């Protein structure tokens, strides 16, 4: 059963991190996601904190828009403060403490910046 959960999380992680390649106007390959708007194609570069934040989507909803646990749009300083506070609490007391302890300070900043811009 444990290997099924591992496989599930690997697939979840890989699906949130995939990049697509497209050719720009000069015929060179570019990394990014393509959005179609009318007849114009724009390349959208994924936020560097999105892959890290994807672990949060399970409880806080895709891009942080869960109804009761919504964190999208919160200020990055508030998210950083909350995660840093949780980082030093007993990991057995709350699942968020475990998650917070797994991230470096730089990763926490990227996650907070990502959710603040949603």
Cα–Cα distance for residue pair 86/110, rounded to 1 Å: 17
Pairing of strands 40-44, 20-23: unpaired
Listed by start position, the domains of the chain span: 1-46, 48-118
Q: What is the pTM of this model?
A: 0.61
Cα–Cα distance for residue pair 41/37, rounded to 1 Å: 6
Q: How many CB atoms lie within 10 A of CB 96?
A: 17
Per-residue pLDDT tens digits of the chain, which is 118 residues long = 566 666 555 565 555 544 444 444 444 545 555 444 455 444 456 899 999 999 999 999 999 999 889 999 999 999 999 999 999 999 888 999 999 999 999 999 999 999 999 9
Instruction: Look up the CATH number of domain 48-118.
Output: 1.10.760.10
Cα–Cα distance for residue pair 80/85, rounded to 1 Å: 8
Cα–Cα distance for residue pair 93/31, rounded to 1 Å: 41
Strand boundaries in 40-94, DSSP class E: 40-44
């Amino acid at each position: 059963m444990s290997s099924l959960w591992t496989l599930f999380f690997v697939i979840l992680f890989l699906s949130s991190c995939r990049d697509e390649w497209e050719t720009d106007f000069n015929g060179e390959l570019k990394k990014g996601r393509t959005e179609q708007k009318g007849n114009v194609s724009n390349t959208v570069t994924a936020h560097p904190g999105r892959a890290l934040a994807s672990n949060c989507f399970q409880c806080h909803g895709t891009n942080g828009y869960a109804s009761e646990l919504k964190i999208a749009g919160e200020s990055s300083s508030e998210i950083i403060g909350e995660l840093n506070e949780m980082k030093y609490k007993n990991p057995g007391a709350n699942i968020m403490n475990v998650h917070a302890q797994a991230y470096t300070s730089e990763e926490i900043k990227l996650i907070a910046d990502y959710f603040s811009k949603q």
